[in-house]
Each structure stands twice: as structure tokens, then as C-alpha cells.
Amino acid sequence: MELILIFLQKAIAQGICILFGASGEIITEKSGNLNLGIPGIMYMGGIGGLMGAFFYEQSTAEPVGLVGLLISMLATLLISALGGLIFSFLTVSLRANQNVVGLALTTFGIGFGNFFGGSISKLAGGVGQISVAVTADAYRAKIPGLSQIPVVGDLLFSYGFLTYLSVAIAILLTFLLKRTRKGLNLRAVGESPATADAAGISVAAYKYVSTVAGAAVAGLGGLYFVMEYLGGTWTNNGFGDRGWLAIALVILSIWNPARAIWGSFLFGGLYILYIYLPGLTRATQELCGMLPYVVTIVVLIFTSRRNNLESQPPASLGEAYFREDR
Amino acid sequence: MAEETTQTAGGPFFRVVKRSGISTPRAWLIRLAAVCCGLIVCALIIVAITKQNPLSVYAGIIDGAVGTNRRLWVTIRESLVLLIIAVGLTPAFKMRFWNIGAEGQVLMGGMAAAALMIYLGNTMPNWLLLMLILLASMAAGMIWGLMPAVFKACYGTNETLFTLMLNYVAIQIVNFCIVFWENPSGSNTVGIINSSTSKGWLPELFGLTYGWNVVIVMAVTLLMYIYMKHSKQGYEISVVGESQNTAKYVGINIKKVIIRTMMISGAICGLAGAIIVSGGSHTISTSTGGGRGFTAIIVAWMSKFNPLVMLLVSAFLVFMQKGAIQIASQYGLNENASDIITGILLFFLIGSEFFINYKLELRGTKRGTK
């Protein structure tokens, strides 16, 4: 029982950064932009927040957690939005191929994160690892009172606020996509930009806004990882392939952020399952590690086989739109 | 398109017009300008971080990439690897099949090569072993390319996402094998395979350590060029890529073309894995691909599948990477600086394609006149 509880807690903790990434990528993809730069953007968001908190904590003798929290969050949003802006500028304004730009952005973003993560404290004249304990504690603060309840408190209320924010964002985005005029327009842009254009919707504006906003949301996943998961420090490549898992989760959730919530917990569980399954050898642990990807492939095959209109990727996904190209 | 209108005041400041064609020198001038802009931006960033004279920084890059004979050959070897992966991706991309899975196909090929080196290292003459290694790695890469192709052909499964996921399955398979192959045990790395016997290593050719790498990669590149330009199958690939409806109309079996092309694409990427393992690192790890499967996608696409351009772009990117690693160690930075520099250069190169395909006309200029 104890073990299952810990497993569930850890699975949720693993799932949150994937959920942020997937939510961001879903609204991006709904506009027809397949942003493969998300893994890089999540690195950029993570290091951006860490650097914001780092410079703040360096500059004052008595850092306040809440101020560090706000500064780092703002830094994350700005830097990851910048990543989205680079992507939109190259693919929407300059009509470059989305896959190519996305992969370049991932190369850039991972390098950006590892470079500054590895050398920021050195560049700032310090020694050793970067560490922002005060800000990280603010991120890790649990809900007082509720988290004391046995079992339920551990399972539901033992996380920092970013966890609840990620779920709230996912639900909000689903509402936005399904229930509002703007969401309808956005889906129209992703399904058939020419039709949307003819109906007077600004295709470029929708693509820009959704991609930049999506990148900012995804960046929060990186922030969650460095602050709540790692406790305010950086390990090179520590974020690993979670960014790609986020893209996988987009498929698993069939482009629906609300469905990505339980999907992210499932992925989080699969991601760490090998630690908790009894009787695994080192070799079978590694095989267990491929589960999230295999599950995604199976889902991908089934959705394409069922050929159900509701569960397809946006029709113009990955294609640039130029009004005169028809 | 042909209407001769003057944009009235109050309209957008400029408009975008598709070029009907551009002379080759002009296109290259634009690309060159983009590279220069990229290098200037990189220099600014490097200077901001290291506070050194940018010229000495670039001297450091040149020194790091080609400064010594050994460095020069490593740069050549890495460029060749990038080139052969890009060549492997070419037919798939020409068919508009987004094979993002080169990384996994390279890993599977490399793994097959490593497996044969380990298990058959002492049972047969080296030439036979090498033949087997090349064949096995091609087969392994082929299988990895075949899976998404079959599902794409039969059910229309999205190949970008499918191939992407297979990369990580391949990484886990390599991790799985490392458990059995690790040497010394407990190190979680395979170490140099057959370091005493050199079995399964590509031998020297004409006194050059990487002579065979050059020969194999050049041969594959040349064959691929001929295949794409002068064979019926190559023509079918470009028809399917341009328009599936046309292909259907002229009686091309699209499924067959997709599957066949991806088998070729995967096989060449697998071969690249063997060249990395047998002809370079002599070991296998999850970083055997080293992101080159992704970089090669950019190389192939930017070169418009022209083999000569591909060689140039690969060499340039590897040159900058190796150089950046050198300056990073010179100034005590970490070596990921090279990824930032590569990324920035790629952004500029990718962006420059726009100015080759389109031109901006300022408000008030007449359309249709030159």
C-alpha cells in the first residue's frame, strides 16, 4: 500500500513536466504548426527560470522565495516564448519547413540549456553547481493543512502549485479549444487554413499566437523540472527525453489537453515503472523503458486505422500556408 | 498573379512575391550572406561570453577543426558520416516521407555492427567479417525504416511521429544490449571492442586510417545520385513526392514505392551506423547517433538533395562544431556551446531559403515589371 502510494506520487511528479509540454504542443499543433522544437524549448524554459532565480538570489543578501518565484516564472515564460517566436517567424513568416526548423530549435535549445546550466555559476564568478534553494523551496511548498490528511493528502495535496497549474491549464485549454469562438477559429486554421483565410480569419496571427503561447506553456514544464523536481539545480541532459515524450503524449491524448492529464500520469508511471516492478533485472529494466514509446506507436497506428475524423491530427499539420500557393 | 496593380498607400509596407526563378550564383550569394550574418551573430555571443577578440575566437575555431592532421581527419570522418546519413534520407524526403528516424536507424545499424564484432570477432577472416557487418547493419537499419513505411502505406499512419518514437525504442534496445556487452563489467559502457585484435575494424586504405570511410561514403553518394536522377525507380519517387494523385493516374504502385524507398533509406542509415562503429568509434553507446540523425535531416533538406551541396553543408556544420568544442575548452566553457552555434547558423541558413524562393516588394513598386 505504502509502495503503491509512493509510486503514484512519483508517477504524477514525472507526469507534470510532460503534461505542460503536451498542453503547449497541442494548442500549437491545433494551428497546424508541428513544433518539434518543444524539447529544446523546455530546456530553454528550465534554464531561463533557473537563471532568473539565480541572478535574483545572487543580487540580494536575503532573498524572498515569492519574489524569486515570480522572477523565475517570468523569465521562463519570456525565454520559452522567444523559442516559440523563432519557430513561428521562420515557419510562418519565412515559410521554412516546420520539421527542419523544429529540429534545429531543439538542437539550439538543448545546447542553450546545457551550456548555461553548466557554466552560469562560473560565468558569474562563482564556483560549483548552480543552486537556488530559496526559490525552489517556494515552488515546493505544499498546501498547508490539506497535505496533512493521510493517504488522500499525500496523493492529492502533496505537490507544489505548478502541479495544480498544469492541470488547470490543460482544462482551460480544452475549454478554449472546444467551447469558444477563438478556439473554433484556431481549429479551422489547423484543419484548413485556406478556408479559414477565406472566412476572414488571420491565419498568420493565429499561428503566431498559438505557437508562442504553446511554447510558453511548454517552458513551464522545464521550470517545474528544475525547481520542483530537481530542487533548484541543473544537471546536464538531466531533463532527458521528456520533451519527446510530451510530443508522444499529444498523440496519445488525441489532441485533447484534458485527456493529456491522465495520459501524463500514465506516461509518468510507465517512465518509472521499472523501479517499482519486482523481479526485474537491469536488462529488463531497459526494455521497460521503451514502454511509453511503444504505447504511443500503438495508439498512433490504431487512430490511423480507425480513420475516425474526431481522432485525427489537424489536417494541415506540418504544412506551411501561403495564400498564393493554390 | 499577372495583374498589374500598384499598391495604394495604407496597404502593407511590403508584400511577398514568389520568385519565378533565381540564378544559381544569386541563390548562393544569398546563402553566403546568411552564413556571414550567422557567423557575426555567433561572434557577438561568443565575445559577450568570453570577452575575447572575435578574430582570435575564430582562429581558435579553425585551429580546433583542422589545426592538426588528426583533427582534420576527425572533421573529415564526421562530415562523411553526416553526409551518408543525409544521402540516406534523400530518397525518403524526395518522396515527402518525413523520416525523422535516422537517429534510430543509425543506432540499429551500429548495434548490428557491434554485435557481430563482439560475437564473431575471432571466428572468421576480417574481410568476411566486415562484409557481414556491412550487410547486417544495412538489414538492421532497413527493418527500422520498414516498420513506419508499411503502416504509412497501408493505413496512412503519420510517419513523422512514428519514426520519431522509434528512435527512442532503438535507444532503449541499445541500452539493453549494453547490459550484456559492457566491458569492464559494471562500467555501463561497452568500451573499445576488439581493441587488441582490431577485428571488425575498417582497415587502412592507401595508408589512410579513414580511407575506407571515404570510399564507401563516396560510392554510396554517387550511386544514390545516379539512382535518383537516372533510374525509373528514382523517377517514381519524385512523382509520388510531387503528387500522389498523378502517381496513381500513371499507374505507379504508391504502396510499393513507399515501402521500397524507405527500405533503401533505412538501409543506408544503418550502413552509416556501421561506418561510425567499425570505421570510427569502435564502440557502441546511446550517443553513437549523437544527434546526427537529426542534423542530417536539416542537411538533406537545405541542400535540396544535391550531393555536392550536401557535402559542403555537412563539412561546414562539422567544422563549426569541432571548432566550437575547441574554443569551449580553450576558454573553459562547456562544450554545448557548439550546439548553440550550430543552432544559430541553422536558423540563418533555413531563413535564407525564404529569400531565395520569394522576394519582398516595397509598397508602390509595380508588379510584373522587372
Do B136 and B171 form a contact (C-beta atoms < 8 A)? no
Residue B159: pLDDT band (50, 70, 90) is confident
Cβ of residue A294 closer than 8 Å to a chain B Cβ: yes
pLDDT at B202: 66
| Count of beta carbons in the 10 Å neighbourhood of residue A78 | 15
From residue A104, how far is each of A36, A93, A99, A155 by CA, in Å? 9, 17, 9, 39
The Cα A111–Cα B62 span in angstroms is: 21
Q: Is the pLDDT of residue B149 over 70?
A: yes
- In the block, cell 496533512 appears at A148
Q: What three-state secondary structure class fits B205?
A: strand
- Across the interface, do B158 and A300 touch by the CB < 8 Å criterion? yes
Residue-wise pLDDT for A230-251, tens only, equals: 888 888 777 778 888 898 888 8
Do B137 and B270 form a contact (C-beta atoms < 8 A)? yes
Cβ of residue A240 closer than 8 Å to a chain B Cβ: no
Chain A 127-186, residues with CB within 8 Å of chain B CB atoms: none
- Across the interface, do B334 and A118 touch by the CB < 8 Å criterion? yes
Which among B179, B336, B354 has CB closest to A118? Answer: B336
Residue B1: pLDDT band (50, 70, 90) is very low
| Count of beta carbons in the 10 Å neighbourhood of residue A105 | 30
3-state secondary structure labels for all residues of chain A: CHHHHHHHHHHHHHHHHHHHHHHHHHHHHHCCCCCCCHHHHHHHHHHHHHHHHHHHHHHCCCCCHHHHHHHHHHHHHHHHHHHHHHHHHHHHHCCCCHHHHHHHHHHHHHHHHHHHHHHHHHHCCCCCCCCCHHHHHHHHCCCCCHHHCCCHHHHHCCCCHHHHHHHHHHHHHHHHHHHCHHHHHHHHHHHCHHHHHHCCCCHHHHHHHHHHHHHHHHHHHHHHHHHHHCCCCCCCCCCCCHHHHHHHHHHHCCCCHHHHHHHHHHHHHHHHHHHHCCCCCHHHHHHHCCHHHHHHHHHHHHHHHHCCHHHCCCCCCCCCCCCCCC
pLDDT at B364: 62
Do A157 and A146 form a contact (C-beta atoms < 8 A)? yes
pLDDT at A252: 82
With CA atoms as reference, the chain A residue closest to B340 would be A108
Q: What domain count does chain B have? A: 1
| Count of beta carbons in the 10 Å neighbourhood of residue A190 | 27
Does the model's pTM come out above 0.90?
A: no
Residue B125 lies in a domain: yes
The Cα B156–Cα B159 span in angstroms is: 8
Q: Which is higher by pLDDT, A35 or B243?
A: A35
- Across the interface, do B340 and A108 touch by the CB < 8 Å criterion? yes
Q: How far is B256 from chain A (nearest CA, A)?
A: 19
A contacts of B49 (beta carbons < 8 Å): 123
Q: How far is B298 from chain A (nearest CA, A)?
A: 5
Do A20 and A217 form a contact (C-beta atoms < 8 A)? yes
Q: How far is A3 from chain B (nearest CA, A)?
A: 26
Residue B65 lies in a domain: no
Q: Which is higher by pLDDT, A262 or B287?
A: A262
CATH number of the domain within which A92 lies: 1.10.3470
Do A82 and A76 form a contact (C-beta atoms < 8 A)? no
Give the mean model confidence (pLDDT) for residues B263-274. 90
Residue A326 lies in a domain: no
Q: Is the pLDDT of residue B219 over 60?
A: yes
pLDDT at B328: 75
B contacts of A320 (beta carbons < 8 Å): none
With CA atoms as reference, the chain A residue closest to B177 would be A283
Give the sign of the dihedral formed by CA A202, CA A208, CA A211, CA A214.
negative
The Cα A299–Cα A249 span in angstroms is: 10
Q: How far is A313 from chain B (nearest CA, A)?
A: 9
Residue B348 lies in a domain: no
pLDDT at A125: 63
| Range of lowest pLDDT (B27-41, B45-59, B332-346) | B45-59
Residue-wise pLDDT for A109-145, tens only, equals: 988 888 888 777 676 666 666 777 778 888 777 777 7
- Across the interface, do A118 and B298 touch by the CB < 8 Å criterion? no
pLDDT at B239: 83
Residue-wise pLDDT for B310-339, tens only, equals: 888 888 888 888 887 777 777 777 777 778
Chain A 111-130, residues with CB within 8 Å of chain B CB atoms: 111-112, 114-115, 118-119, 122-123
Average pLDDT for chain A: 85
Q: What is the ipTM of this complex?
A: 0.85
Give the mean model confidence (pLDDT) for residues B6-32. 71
B contacts of A18 (beta carbons < 8 Å): none
Residue B122 lies in a domain: yes
From residue A125, how far is each of A57, A105, A122 by CA, in Å? 14, 29, 5
Q: Is the pLDDT of residue B23 over 50?
A: yes
pLDDT at B3: 41
Which of A126-135, B102-111, B148-157 has the highest average model confidence (pLDDT)?
Answer: B102-111
pLDDT at B217: 82
Do B119 and B112 form a contact (C-beta atoms < 8 A)? no
Residue at B34: amino acid letter: A
Which among A86, A251, A293 has CB closest to B168? Answer: A293
The Cα A309–Cα B18 span in angstroms is: 34
B contacts of A85 (beta carbons < 8 Å): none
Q: How far is B154 from chain A (nearest CA, A)?
A: 9
- Across the interface, do A111 and B151 touch by the CB < 8 Å criterion? no
3-state secondary structure labels for all residues of B27-64: HHHHHHHHHHHHHHHHHHHHHHHHCCCHHHHHHHHHHH
Domain that holds residue A56: 2-311
- Across the interface, do B294 and A247 touch by the CB < 8 Å criterion? no
Q: Tally C-beta pairs within 8 A across A and B.
A: 158
Residue B200: pLDDT band (50, 70, 90) is low
| Range of lowest pLDDT (A163-167, A259-263, B137-141, B336-340) | B336-340
Directed axis angle between helix A161-179 and helix A181-191, to 10°?
80
Residue B363: pLDDT band (50, 70, 90) is low
Residue A216: pLDDT band (50, 70, 90) is very high
Q: Quick one: cell of A278?
A: 519486482
Q: What domain count does chain A have? A: 1
pLDDT at B350: 85
pLDDT at B250: 83
Q: Quick one: cell of A149?
A: 490528511
- Residue B190's φ and ψ, nearest 5 degrees, are -85, -25
pLDDT at A54: 87
Do B322 and B75 form a contact (C-beta atoms < 8 A)? yes
Residue A168 lies in a domain: yes
- Across the interface, do B343 and A313 touch by the CB < 8 Å criterion? no
Q: How far is A187 from chain B (nearest CA, A)?
A: 19
Percentage of residues of chain B with pLDDT beyond 70:
90
Q: Which is higher by pLDDT, B23 or B77?
A: B77
pLDDT at A38: 92
Average pLDDT for chain B: 80
Helix (H) or strand (E) holding B361: strand B358-362
- Across the interface, do A297 and B166 touch by the CB < 8 Å criterion? yes
pLDDT at A26: 93
pLDDT at A208: 93
| Count of beta carbons in the 10 Å neighbourhood of residue B40 | 12
Cβ of residue A313 closer than 8 Å to a chain B Cβ: yes
The Cα A234–Cα A240 span in angstroms is: 12
With CA atoms as reference, the chain B residue closest to A252 would be B161
Q: How far is B207 from chain A (nearest CA, A)?
A: 36
Do A83 and A219 form a contact (C-beta atoms < 8 A)? yes
Residue B296 lies in a domain: yes
pLDDT at A83: 93
Which of B64-68, B178-182, B203-207 has the highest average model confidence (pLDDT)?
Answer: B178-182
Residue B116 lies in a domain: yes
Give the mean model confidence (pLDDT) for residues B344-365. 80
Q: Which is higher by pLDDT, B17 or B265?
A: B265
- Across the interface, do B169 and A34 touch by the CB < 8 Å criterion? no
Q: Quick one: cell of B256?
A: 510499393
Residue A128 lies in a domain: yes
B contacts of A289 (beta carbons < 8 Å): 172, 175
Q: Is the pLDDT of residue B73 over 50?
A: yes
B contacts of A244 (beta carbons < 8 Å): 164-165, 167-168
Residue at A252: amino acid letter: L
Q: How far is B155 from chain A (nearest CA, A)?
A: 6
Q: How far is A104 from chain B (nearest CA, A)?
A: 6
Q: Which is higher by pLDDT, A65 or B2?
A: A65
Cβ of residue A289 closer than 8 Å to a chain B Cβ: yes
Do B225 and B198 form a contact (C-beta atoms < 8 A)? no
In degrees, rounded to 5, the angle at the alpha carbon of residue A215 between the alpha carbons of residues A23 and B357 is 120
Give the mean model confidence (pLDDT) for residues B227-237. 84
The Cα A197–Cα A239 span in angstroms is: 39
